[in-house]
Structure 1
Amino acid sequence: MELRVLGCSGGIGGAAQRTTALLLDRDILIDAGSGVGDLSMDALCRIDHVCLTHAHLDHIAFLPLLVDTVAGMRQTPLTVHAPAAVIEALQRHVFNGTIWPDFSRLPTTDAPFMRYRELSLGQVLRLGERTILPLPVDHSVPAAAYRIDSGQASLVFSGDTGPCDAFWQAVNAIDNLRILIIECAFPDRERDLAVLSKHFCPSMLADGLAKLERACDLYITHLKPGQAEATLAEVESCLGHLAPRRLSNGLVLTF
């Protein structure tokens, strides 16, 4: 199983900054930020499933354009998997006929271009030999992390979160954990903002990772443009013993 990083920035700006989107093999997207826009038409048409962590714009921005682009070239609906509250937000605020057409009803309700499938915490999504399991997190809106299991090893993607004991408990229960991708949006000088918005800064992340009982490869994501280097320096200072690496566009993780 391969996970290709299409975007992992907490913002935009220049060719290097693409917001969160991860391509699992060739047919599953984990979040649908601006990184999706760099895929070829052929690659876009191969995507059958989109798993969303939450409904913030940097994680869903290119979902409406993706559906619109490939709709006429698909034989089956694009399936969007997400917690119920995320689906409700999409229906009410995005695919509502005002911001964007409701592709779950177009061209007909019986044969739509897009369909929703609710994912609850603890509910396993099986796609071939692959399994995807939502894990608890604590963000400013309803959200989930995802465990992706190839059968041989697991990767956990936190999505957006702040401190959450239930998340670490769930991660510690994964006996084949190989990779943890976790956010760290702000430097420590903006700790108050991190707390308010329910994101991590390096000192808060260090407190969380002190609860991690599994050895794994650690990748840092969702760094804010203009603050990334300062944040990473602080991450290295307090977490250097865990050998954290910066997630980057184009990186392919195999597990």
Structure 2
Amino acid sequence: MVACWVTFTGATLVACRGGLPARSQPMKLRILGCSGGIGGRASGTTAFLADDDILVDAGTGVGELELDELLRIDHVFVTHAHLDHIVSIPLLVDSVGELRDTPLTVYATAETIRMLRLHVFNWQIWPDFTTIPDCHRSYLRFHPVEPGHPIRLGARMVTPLPARHSVPTVAYCLDSGEGKLVYTGDTEYSTELIAAINALDHVRHLIVETAFPESQHGLALTARHLCPSLLHAMLDEIAGAPEVHIAHLKPGQCERIMGEIAAGAGRLHPVRLEQGMILEF
């Protein structure tokens, strides 16, 4: 295991492998899962692997990785506490905890961390790995994040952005130093998120959810998800020209939703995100 050190500067966590900051170079995001539900080999729920050490959300797609790949993950950035985005965290830390030299770090809002502690790592659903083998050298640790406060990992930076869902949530901007990728997580139409995206430069990719077809517009509003018309309203406000990738499609509704998106497509021409894809930025 490569040595790692961390320091705190204000609200920013600085972490470097081997004690030296890495040079700025493109990042690669591997899509381990991007489905809004399970059902089939290519229907893992949301999990993205950036380079080989950063996991963004931890749905069932994490099961695509071999043990040696799981061991290389040092950082897990969580958008929100819904099961399809966090289900693999308990299994991941259980699989690799005793094999690691440093704790696995989970980054999330204070409220999401509270929910993970209360409902998952509570010695009933799962052991509390923040106290195993003891509090001073645990397998797992939590690091709270806030919108607008970046986490720097060598030359890379991960910045939470404001989003709105049925539970507290954030989006994330991943910045390689060469370009940026924004992942909205689960969100409804959000002027705050749109403004945050428009304040960024060099956004090459935008991953945005569309969970429901237009016939379920009311359900989308209630559940605080997007449907095609709400997606179009959001994309019409995006100032730049990123490649737009649609995620979190409900199984059995994928073709219908993508057809409705294509029928009303504006200048950004969204495409479906698929498991196994690699996005470079």
Question: TM-score normalized by structure 1?
Answer: 0.99
Q: Where does residue 134 of structure 2 map in the other structure?
A: 108
Q: Where does residue 63 of structure 2 map in the other structure?
A: 37
SS in 2 for 1:95: coil
SS in 1 for 2:126: coil
Unaligned runs of 5+ in 2: 1-26
Give the paired residue count. 255
Moved over 6 A (4+): none
State the Cα distance separating 1:239 from its structure 2 match. 1.4
Q: Distance in 2 between matches of 1:213 and 1:48?
A: 34
Instruction: Name the amino acid aligned to 1:154.
Output: K
Unaligned runs of 5+ in 1: none
Which deviations, in whole Å up to 9, do the C-alpha atoms of 1:94-133 show, x marking residues without a partner? 0011000000111100010000000111111001111000
Say whether the 8 Å CA contact 2:211–2:225 is kept in structure 1.
yes
SS in 2 for 1:229: helix
Alignment of 1:51-200 (within 5 A): 51-200=77-226
State the Cα distance separating 1:241 from its structure 2 match. 3.5
SS in 2 for 1:59: helix
State the Cα distance separating 1:76 from its structure 2 match. 0.6
Instruction: Name the amino acid aligned to 1:185.
Output: A
Instruction: Name the amino acid aligned to 2:70.
Output: L
SS in 1 for 2:265: helix
Q: Where does residue 11 of structure 1 map in the other structure?
A: 37
State the Cα distance separating 1:240 from its structure 2 match. 5.3
Q: Distance in 2 between matches of 1:134 and 1:166?
A: 12
Say whether the 8 Å CA contact 2:235–2:268 is kept in structure 1.
no
Say whether the 8 Å CA contact 2:33–2:60 is kept in structure 1.
yes
**Aligned alpha-carbon RMSD (Å):** 0.7
| Fraction of identical pairs, as percent | 51
Instruction: Name the amino acid aligned to 2:123.
Output: G
State the Cα distance separating 1:237 from its structure 2 match. 0.7
Question: TM-score normalized by structure 2?
Answer: 0.90
Q: Where does residue 5 of structure 2 map in the other structure?
A: none
